[in-house]
Amino acid sequence: MNTPLASLHDIEIAARGCLSSMAYEYVSGGAGDECTLGWNERDWNSIRLRQRVLVDVAELDTSVSLLGRTLSHPILLAPTAYHKLIHADGEVATARGASEAGAPMIMSSFSNSPIEDVARATTAPFWFQLYVQPDREFTKALVQRVEAAGCEALCLTVDTPVLGARYRETRTGFHLPDGLTRANLEGMTQVAADAAHRPPEGAIYSAVLEPRLTWKDVEWLRSIATVPVLLKGIMDPDDARLAVQHGASGVIVSNHGARNLDTVPSTAMALPHVVDAIDGRVPVLVDGGIRRGTDVLKALALGASSVLIGRPYLYGLAVDGAAGVSRVVRTLRTELEMAMALTGRTSVSAIDRSVLWA
């Protein structure tokens, strides 16, 4: 990169010139009128912090414990699809960048790269995001495959029985270019691995999404998995309580990057309600609109164990491959350290709601 890129917003601007119009609109777009998309960022910005002074902050500890692992910082890569639309090396480059920055990566079911290739490219922990398929035997085989590759947790997406009204995708005629497939769904009998994820015009159901998914399927997945199962897409406190009742090892507060149901609340607004409902029984993670280290601090203050980023690292991938991914994570971590020092918090364990301006 010849031009210095100081912030995640700088990287996003630079990425636009590196991506096709179709790829950029796919990554950046939301559902409907994109109200929730705007709220996701705006509501983090609207939370005020309490600055504290004359605290010894010469040493800072950003480490966190998550699912039995000690991580050097609380920033993970959320599952996002089709990285080869963004960069020729796809998810392999993402994994390398994540490893360099010490960030666990959650690989998408809709990845263009096989799980085995990604596993070989990473030295950091990696998880796998699962869309349960109508073919349960295929789904079971996929779970066994990703566990064999070294996956340490499964993130079951629970908020997508159908896609939202993604009009940017419609306008650009979104499709997978020739040669790109969902590498980990190859072998399915119902649908080709390169088939469109969008339903036919006038329909709402997709061949690769399961509208029949219920809490019984959470119990089924737990019965076949040997790694922890987290539920991604929890926004309602009642669903959070049900997640714990059905044995989830954690929940991810997420509105799918504002890509499904427009006008649902931001994740910043939903997070404290879910945290209160969970009451410390399992970890609560959050994604959606995280663009600054101050956002990370605020999420931790509201009770999140860790945060996930999606679009920002895809923009980094577009600009500079693995190095761009690493740069995004390192920028957020540096900003988090600054925010911790300026609020007088020397460790993540010292961050609670008292860091917020009442």
For residue range 131-144, what is the model confidence (pLDDT) as tens digits?
Answer: 999 999 999 999 99
CA–CA dist 75, 316 (Å, integer) = 15
CA–CA dist 208, 132 (Å, integer) = 8
Per-residue pLDDT, averaged over 252-279, amounts to 98
Q: What is the pLDDT of residue 2?
A: 60
Per-residue pLDDT, averaged over 31-41, amounts to 98
Is the whole model's pTM more than 0.75, yes or no?
yes
Binding residues: 26, 79-81, 108, 129, 131, 157, 166, 232, 254, 256, 259, 287-291, 310-311
Q: Binning pLDDT at 50, 70 and 90, where does residue 4 land? A: confident
Per-residue pLDDT, averaged over 17-46, amounts to 98
Taking 60 as the threshold, does the pLDDT of residue 207 lie above it? yes
Q: Which residues contact 160 (CB under 8 A, 6 or more apart)?
A: 131, 209, 233, 256, 260
Q: Is 197 a catalytic residue?
A: no
Taking 70 as the threshold, does the pLDDT of residue 3 lie above it? no
Percent of the chain with pLDDT over 70: 97
Q: What is the pLDDT of residue 214?
A: 97
Q: What are residue 106's DSSP bridge partners?
A: 127
Catalytic residue among 9, 73, 256, 273: 256
Taking 60 as the threshold, does the pLDDT of residue 195 lie above it? no
Binding residues for glyoxylate: 26, 131, 166, 256, 259
Q: What are residue 250's DSSP bridge partners?
A: 230
Q: What is the pLDDT of residue 331?
A: 98
Taking 80 as the threshold, does the pLDDT of residue 200 lie above it? no
Q: What is the pLDDT of residue 203?
A: 83
In the structure encoding, which two tokens stand for residue 347, read together? 């460790």
Give the C-alpha distances (Å, rounded to integers) separating 86 from 18, 172, 311: 8, 16, 11
Per-residue pLDDT, averaged over 56-79, amounts to 97
Burial 26-63 (b: 16+ CB within 10 A, else e): bbbbbbbebebbebbbebbeebeeeeeeeeebeeeebe
Per-residue pLDDT, averaged over 67-88, amounts to 97
Taking 80 as the threshold, does the pLDDT of residue 202 lie above it? no
Please name each of the domains of the chain with its CATH number: 8-355 (3.20.20.70)
Per-residue pLDDT, averaged over 274-285, amounts to 98
In the structure encoding, which two tokens stand for residue 194, read together? 């390169």
At residue 284, what are phi and psi to the nearest 5 degrees? -120, 120
Per-residue pLDDT, averaged over 39-54, amounts to 98
Q: What is the pLDDT of residue 131?
A: 96
Helix axes 311-342, 8-16, angle to 10 degrees: 160
Q: What is the pLDDT of residue 187?
A: 78
Of 312, 83, 39, give the one whose Cα is nearest residue 182: 83
- For the beta carbon of residue 279, count every other beta carbon within 10 angstroms: 11
Binding residues for FMN: 79-81, 108, 129, 157, 232, 254, 287-291, 310-311
Q: What is the pLDDT of residue 37?
A: 98
Taking 70 as the threshold, does the pLDDT of residue 191 lie above it? no
Q: What is the pLDDT of residue 190?
A: 53
Burial 174-195 (b: 16+ CB within 10 A, else e): bebeeebbbbbbeebeebebbb
